[in-house]
Amino acid sequence: MKSESIKIGLVGLGTVGGGVYEILEKHRSLLAQRIGAPVEIKKIAVRSKGKKRGKKIPAALFTEDVGEILRDPEIRIVVEVMGGTKEAKTLAFAAIKAGKHLVTANKALLALHGKEVFTAAMKAKVDVCFEAAVGGGIPILRALREGFVANEIRSLYGIVNGTCNFILTEMSQKGADFQSTLKRAQELGYAEADPTFDIDGWDAAHKLAILVSIAYGVHVPLQKLFVEGIRRVSAFDLECAKRFGFEIKLLAIAKSQGGKIQARVHPTMIPAGSMLAAVRGVHNAISIDGDSVGEGMLYGAGAGSGPTASAVVGDIVEVARNLIAGVAYTVPPLGLYTDKVRDAAIESVGALRSSYYLRFQATDRPGVLSKIAAILGRHRISISSVYQNVREEGRVVPIVILTHEALEKDIQAAIAKVDRLEVMKEKTLLIRVEENCR
Amino acid sequence: MKSESIKIGLVGLGTVGGGVYEILEKHRSLLAQRIGAPVEIKKIAVRSKGKKRGKKIPAALFTEDVGEILRDPEIRIVVEVMGGTKEAKTLAFAAIKAGKHLVTANKALLALHGKEVFTAAMKAKVDVCFEAAVGGGIPILRALREGFVANEIRSLYGIVNGTCNFILTEMSQKGADFQSTLKRAQELGYAEADPTFDIDGWDAAHKLAILVSIAYGVHVPLQKLFVEGIRRVSAFDLECAKRFGFEIKLLAIAKSQGGKIQARVHPTMIPAGSMLAAVRGVHNAISIDGDSVGEGMLYGAGAGSGPTASAVVGDIVEVARNLIAGVAYTVPPLGLYTDKVRDAAIESVGALRSSYYLRFQATDRPGVLSKIAAILGRHRISISSVYQNVREEGRVVPIVILTHEALEKDIQAAIAKVDRLEVMKEKTLLIRVEENCR
């Protein structure tokens, strides 16, 4: 056991950075035992040294020049928790070029520039660890690269956005509408003032890109993912879901078949008795189905200072243990040893076969349902259930149809036709059903 | 990337060994990419070479002499999946002594002889991996040693015996009694002909000993654990549990406070809305509460050829990646770098503070409840709820009491007194309540 300390440069001291600092202080001796040597933050790069901070941190640690970290030969690990993509990208490449190992919590950086970052890291044979980028404190990336390494991942379902899961849980439990629930989430600090990134599914899409890249050892062009948020899901839809034995969750879904990968984010109806349906509030969970292990799920806090910092420090420990052993890159970032990671062949959503929940908003008139049914029939879509609770001639009422398995291209074409009917008063809502979700 | 193959000696070719062989064959090229070199089984030691096997395995691989594996300098990894403790122990020490890395699925071996095995491995600086020993395909040991390494584990709750969870789930869902459900479990192959080891809690206790040893970096003397099985839990208790908002699960529980560790296995009432309560049938799950990460849970298949073999192959990959990097022991078996792992200070169950479910079987006579309540009161136990559904004077009926938090020593003393009352017709049943279980 070498006893000289392993030195870290921390870039950023926000919620996550502060959490990392706290854990390293609090568990100094425990971590030293677990790593085999003490870990020490030698420098903290911040935008403004003068900023007031709640924590007692020695002033000598601070610098406004990230170059001080990059140029310091004693610093072996750069921990990037500044967020954003532009500066973070520059930093990541500079750190790798300087031969330093990189730990980052930055999902946007990796979803957008993962290919270049990983390629650079492979060439430099330095570790790039990013467990905190997906699922906060849930060690899902590690599980995919190591615990489930003996498996081909048949499918992966993730509740990876706490904001959306909180909103959908509240709406489902209280029958509240989307707007008021979003407002409540904002008051509680679970949603940003501008909630677009979360509720339109982009945060989940970034995480899905990372999950897919590790599950299948591929690069994932973000723009190839199908992404749909939860804005149009209503309390009525959640009530209907229950009636059919389902819950609605925003899921990040990946499946692989015959070399083609499905990768999509959208509100999804899943069996009410499934483990994922039991994931409530801001919690996250990722369920995987591996060809050897079968179905498994990892569950926990998907965000917050403590959980995210827990994952970042987990990565620091991994790199530190490697440093002491004199190795790096024993587990490559995408789980494969190759310098030729291929781009993922992402299947278009039109090719999806699924069953669907369709909510039509139509003026209640005799013959409306038969018109809709006729159009669906002409597009090879067969109906499994119909539900219409309010009937009031001349008023706009919802008509709900559950379909049997159909081709999404057909569904989209049928909906486009239905939406042109004169009685239709709103764009038809479609929610995909995953009946086999665990 | 070195391309020479990594050679394995497999000892045992039962359910798990067969699964390991299959995965290594099926995923030969995928694993080679993930490891950086092919992995190859060079020898398989079995009791009888002549035995008929379903699989097509080249006859040349078989040997009846495990020494052939131990003496082969090309074989770097010994995979022990023979089961049992006597021969397995001899093999483990012989393998370590021969400088080979050891992968084992043998929970009994480690629960009984872990201290010696780990000490020998530390001295020899070889890897000992045993992910498959707890929770089948669930990568919980890896998560404790790596993903959650930044945490002090405040508590751990495990559903780690599928047989018991299947029986309790069935009893809860169908209102069936213990004996007939056990019989059904035996017919389905979920319980052994002699079910003692599972239903009396010993299998769970072995797994708990391993979990505690990694969560707290200690050696755990198995005989110090408190172990109670599920034989006495009745359909009536499960019904009462639901009435109070609980489910009953056989839990392996570990908690740490002030250097003292609680480690116990017993039927436990947990909130019906908790994630663990949603774990049904033969599935396993381990819920942990870490001081940084908060609450998390890992869920999956706890047994069976595929899941267990998935974990074993995961361990093989870990060792193989290390071999290629020219290192070993980068993550020590108990998560700590020290040759002086201390013995755990396990707290006696008498010191436990908990709330309790008590079922008294008494002849229905006026004044019985007040007598029981008086005895409880004298032992500083206060009652939170009483439930008695059947009343028929002169007949033996159950009286159910939920207590507030009390000291187990007091509860035990009170029950002993109550059980000496002339109206009591059966030993009182006690079920511990974990209200904060997730």
Alpha carbon distance A50, A62 (integer Å) = 10
Chain A positions touching B293 (Cβ under 8 A) are 136-137, 300-301, 306-307, 310-311
Q: Could you tell me how many helices (H) and strands (E) chain A has, helices first?
A: 14, 17
Q: Who among A23, A321, A322 is closest to B150 (CB)?
A: A23
Answer yes or no: are the C-beta atoms of A309 and A16 closer than 8 Å.
yes
pLDDT tens, residue by residue, B162-199? 999 999 999 999 999 999 999 999 999 999 999 999 99
CB contact under 8 A, B330 and A326: no
Mean pLDDT of B304-326: 97
Nearest residue to B242 (alpha-carbon basis) of B175, B183, B178: B175
**Residue B332 in this model has a pLDDT that exceeds 50:** yes
Q: Which residue of B has its CA nearest to A273?
A: B278
In what side-by-side order are the strands of the sheet with A75-80? A62-63, A39-45, A6-11, A75-80, A101-104, A128-129
Q: What is the percent of chain B where pLDDT is above 70? A: 99
**Residue A429, pLDDT score:** 98
**Residue A407 in this model has a pLDDT that exceeds 50:** yes
Alpha carbon distance A23, A31 (integer Å) = 9
Answer yes or no: are the C-beta atoms of A83 and A110 closer than 8 Å.
no
- The dotted CATH code for A152-300 is 3.30.360.10
Mean pLDDT of A68-82: 98
Amino acid sitting at position B29:
S
Q: Who among B301, B310, B337 is closest to A150 (CB)?
A: B310
Cα within 13 Å of Cα(B188), Cβ side: 14
Answer yes or no: are the C-beta atoms of B230 and B250 closer than 8 Å.
yes
Alpha carbon distance A223, A112 (integer Å) = 9
**Residue B117 in this model has a pLDDT that exceeds 70:** yes
Range(s) for CATH 3.40.50.720 in chain A?
6-137+305-325
Q: When comparing pLDDT for B105 and A2, which is higher?
A: B105
Range(s) for CATH 3.40.50.720 in chain B?
6-132+305-325
Mean pLDDT of A224-237: 97
Fold observed for domain B350-433: Alpha-Beta Plaits (3.30.70)
Q: How far apart, in Å, do the first and last CA atoms of chain A sit?
A: 44
Range(s) for CATH 3.30.360.10 in chain B?
140-301
pLDDT bucket at B3, cuts 50 / 70 / 90: low
- The dotted CATH code for B6-132+305-325 is 3.40.50.720
Q: Who among B146, B279, B306 is closest to A314 (CB)?
A: B146
pLDDT tens, residue by residue, A130-174? 999 999 999 999 999 999 999 999 999 999 999 999 999 999 999
**Residue A259, pLDDT score:** 85
User: Measuring CA to CA, how many Å separate A290 from each of A149, A154, B180?
Assistant: 9, 6, 34
| Tokens, residue A289 | 């189905």
Q: What is the percent of chain A where pLDDT is above 90? A: 92
Nearest residue to A195 (alpha-carbon basis) of A238, A152, A229: A229
Cα R_g (chain B), whole angstroms: 24
Q: What is the percent of chain B where pLDDT is above 90? A: 92
Active site residue A242: no
Mean pLDDT of A406-420: 98
**Residue B2 in this model has a pLDDT that exceeds 60:** no
Q: Who among B278, B296, B306 is closest to A293 (CB)?
A: B306
Nearest residue to B250 (alpha-carbon basis) of B259, B258, B237: B237
Answer yes or no: are the C-beta atoms of B216 and B232 closer than 8 Å.
no
Nearest residue to B317 (alpha-carbon basis) of B118, B43, B79, B144: B79
Mean pLDDT of B10-31: 97
Mean pLDDT of A48-65: 91
Estimate the share of chain A in helix, then strand, then coil, as percent rounded to the nearest 5.
40, 25, 35
**Residue B394, pLDDT score:** 86
pLDDT tens, residue by residue, B370-419? 999 999 999 999 999 999 877 788 899 999 999 999 999 999 999 999 99
CA of A271 vs chain B CAs: smallest distance (Å): 13
User: Superfamily for A349-433?
Assistant: ACT domain (3.30.70.260)
pLDDT bucket at A196, cuts 50 / 70 / 90: very high
Alpha carbon distance B106, B84 (integer Å) = 8
Alpha carbon distance A111, A104 (integer Å) = 12
**Residue B9 in this model has a pLDDT that exceeds 90:** yes
CB contact under 8 A, B292 and A298: no
Amino acid sitting at position B25:
E
CB contact under 8 A, A317 and B27: no
Range(s) for CATH 3.30.70.260 in chain B?
350-433
**Residue B351 in this model has a pLDDT that exceeds 60:** yes
CA of B364 vs chain A CAs: smallest distance (Å): 40
Q: Could you tell me how many helices (H) and strands (E) chain B has, helices first?
A: 14, 17
Mean pLDDT of B255-272: 95
**Residue A285, pLDDT score:** 98
pLDDT bucket at A340, cuts 50 / 70 / 90: confident
Q: Report helix, strand or coil for A300.
A: strand
pLDDT bucket at B1, cuts 50 / 70 / 90: very low
**Residue B341, pLDDT score:** 83
Q: What is the percent of chain A where pLDDT is above 70? A: 99
**Residue A1, pLDDT score:** 45
CB contact under 8 A, A296 and B294: no
Chain A positions touching B324 (Cβ under 8 A) are 330
Answer yes or no: are the C-beta atoms of B371 and B404 closer than 8 Å.
no
Q: Report helix, strand or coil for B112.
A: helix
Question: Of the given ranges (A379-383, A427-431, B46-50), which has the lowest mean pLDDT?
Answer: B46-50
Chain A positions touching B131 (Cβ under 8 A) are 147
For residues A357-390, one letter each, b for 16 or more C-beta atoms within 10 angstroms of the residue's C-beta and e for the rest, the string is: bbbbbbebeeebbebbbebbeebebebeeeeeee
**Residue A392 in this model has a pLDDT that exceeds 90:** no
pLDDT bucket at A3, cuts 50 / 70 / 90: low
Interface test with B, best of A292, A312, A316 (most B CBs within 10 A): A292
Does 3.20.20.70 match the CATH number of domain A6-137+305-325?
Answer: no
Fold observed for domain B140-301: Dihydrodipicolinate Reductase; domain 2 (3.30.360)
Answer yes or no: are the C-beta atoms of A19 and A303 closer than 8 Å.
no
Range(s) for CATH 3.30.70.260 in chain A?
349-433
Alpha carbon distance B338, B336 (integer Å) = 6
**Residue A55 in this model has a pLDDT that exceeds 80:** no
pLDDT tens, residue by residue, A272-300? 999 999 999 999 999 999 999 999 999 99
Provide the pairing of β-strand B62-63 with B75-80: unpaired
Range(s) for CATH 3.30.360.10 in chain A?
152-300
